[in-house]
Chain A
């Protein structure tokens, strides 16, 4: 191999100090799939345990999770089949289980939504949170099994063991989303759906911008107070990469009005949704920054009636595990019917109306 060496161009003294390898080598990537840890799981676990230990305040802030869980159940009920075994991944306080025992808001007389569900396994890493509502009456109306996960990103379930996997507002704390989604795909039976909802996009942008402006003005720099979140665009790619078929992704914005910024932060803390980014500034936020952020929040985003809006952007995703029997798109060029002709005749009909 004829290798061009730069050794000749280095002055002799430097050459003696530097031990350059005589040959050039190819750059290689480190083995495995290196992932960057963004969220601290131990810190998140502690926040959830603490939040759930105060049962009353924790139940008071279930409004967001209940609403998201209810909308998630509606999406599950749209699928016309019986689900013998369902997994609720990242169950929090089993909000999905409770919402399943209630009738659908569209048809209040139809009875509980859980009648098409056999067994529900609720899995979460925080034990106190998971068992918070274990004594409530809804537990008798649905066959719910609670399982504490030792590691939030490792699913200890057998392959092909679930008829549906749900996830309600917990996936935004997962570091390695591609791996978890691939595991979900693995434990699903063929032709079974994964239906999840996660925080994403511009959730809490009002709080984020106010804190950033306040820190910029008070301290001359910004630190992380809100999590980086997945965007709608990313979710489709993530599901596809995990091997899901027939994807559906849609977005719901829920705007909640708060009397002041501190009630919002208080509620977030009681939900166990405080900041758990590893690179966050340790210790409490400075009083000056809080004082400044409240004024900016009110001026920049406040409603006319004096309340402060907080936007939660929920991203719903549905993906189906691959199966040979599944309906597939036809091959290109096999269409026997021209959609152009159809739309043109249809358009003429509509004009006549």
Chain B
């Protein structure tokens, strides 16, 4: 579709700018992925989301 950026593309570029926070969040989950519960990595996720909201 020419002349129009799909929202998912915008989303992907914004996420790409937060690789450091994304990696910190991923590490927190992967550290013990047999025992994941809701809001297990809340602080890391909020940091990732803040970065994402700034870069979007």
What is A's interface to B at a CB cutoff of 8 Å? 54, 213-214, 216-220, 260, 262-263, 265-266, 287-288, 290-292, 294-300
Interface of B is mostly: helix
**In the complex the two chains form, is B26's CB within 8 Å of A295's CB?**
yes
- One digit per residue, 1 when the CB lies within 8 angstroms of any chain A CB and 0 when it does not, for chain B 17-50 equals 0010111011101100100111111000100110
Q: Give the residue of B1, B23, B45 whose beta carbon is less than 8 angstroms from that of A299.
A: B23
Q: A216-B36, A218-B45 are in contact. Are A260 and B16 (CB under 8 A)?
A: yes
**In the complex the two chains form, is A296's CB within 8 Å of B26's CB?**
yes
Residues of B within 8 A of A265 (CB): 8
**In the complex the two chains form, is A266's CB within 8 Å of B8's CB?**
yes
**In the complex the two chains form, is B23's CB within 8 Å of A217's CB?**
no
**In the complex the two chains form, is B15's CB within 8 Å of A217's CB?**
no
Q: Looking across the interface, which residue of chain A has its beta carbon closest to that of B16?
A: A260
Residues of A within 8 A of B33 (CB): 213, 300
Q: Looking across the interface, which residue of chain A has its beta carbon closest to that of B41?
A: A217
Does B54 sit within 8 A of A, measured CB to CB? no
Q: Looking across the interface, which residue of chain A has its beta carbon closest to that of B25?
A: A295
Cβ of B47 to closest chain A Cβ, rounded Å: 11
A219 to B29, CA, bound (A): 14
Q: Looking across the interface, which residue of chain B has its beta carbon closest to that of A54?
A: B1
**In the complex the two chains form, is B48's CB within 8 Å of A213's CB?**
no
**In the complex the two chains form, is B8's CB within 8 Å of A213's CB?**
no
Interface centre among A54, A216, A299 (most CB of B within 10 A): A299
**In the complex the two chains form, is B37's CB within 8 Å of A298's CB?**
no
A263 to B16, CA, bound (A): 12
**In the complex the two chains form, is A295's CB within 8 Å of B37's CB?**
no
27 contacts between A and B (CB under 8 A): A213-B29, A214-B29, A216-B36, A216-B37, A217-B39, A217-B40, A220-B38, A262-B8, A262-B9, A266-B8, A291-B15, A291-B22, A291-B45, A292-B29, A292-B48, A295-B21, A295-B29, A295-B48, A296-B25, A296-B26, A298-B19, A298-B23, A298-B26, A299-B23, A299-B27, A299-B30, A300-B33
